Amino acid sequence: MNDKEKIKVLRKALQDFLDSQDEADLLEHDTGNCNGIGNCVLCDARMAMADTMPMKRPKIYVGNRANQKGEIFKSVETPLESTHGDKYSYVLGPFRTMRGARFYVNYGSGNPHCTHVSHIEKLAKADEMHKSF
């Protein structure tokens, strides 16, 4: 069963579950008796569905600190100043391949040809092909 089929089955199960519940229990979410973390039927159903949904795949980024070599890391969420600003001066990515991220770490910083992730990926591929001869 692929992800789309799983989601369709989960939505049907959720709808059946919600249809079987008392309206008063469902409205409890809006009355202020629920704090949004599972104290009502609606939150329970939402959390159960979230637990069975497919996880996002982590993407590859390069974080650079001032006067230091870049560091490759993976993140499911898009890095923001609020989440990664204390660790990195700037973040580049997402990269499609680890090859591209490694190329940027080794050769990209300060390289005028490495202005965009797609350029870096192409240069990394060409570099790998050149080294294989």
In this structure, the answer to whether residues 66 and 128 fall within a common structural domain is yes
Q: In what order do the strands lie in the sheet with 90-95?
A: 71-75, 59-64, 90-95
d(CA 16, CA 6): 15
- What per-residue string of b and e applies to 92-114 under the rule 16 or more CB within 10 Å gives b? bbbbeeebbbbbbbeebeeeeeb
Position 71 scores a pLDDT of 93
Position 10 scores a pLDDT of 74
In this structure, the answer to whether residues 38 and 67 fall within a common structural domain is no
d(CA 124, CA 98): 10
Position 57 scores a pLDDT of 85
Position 102 scores a pLDDT of 94
Domains in the chain, number:
2
Which residues in the chain land under pLDDT 50?
Answer: none
- Which burial class, exposed, middle or buried, applies to 26 when counting CB atoms under 10 A from its CB (0-12, 13-18, 19+)? middle
In this structure, the answer to whether residues 21 and 74 fall within a common structural domain is no
In this structure, the answer to whether residues 101 and 68 fall within a common structural domain is yes
pTM over 0.75: no
State which residues form the domain around 25.
Answer: 3-52
In this structure, the answer to whether residues 99 and 63 fall within a common structural domain is yes
In this structure, the answer to whether residues 44 and 80 fall within a common structural domain is no
In this structure, the answer to whether residues 9 and 72 fall within a common structural domain is no
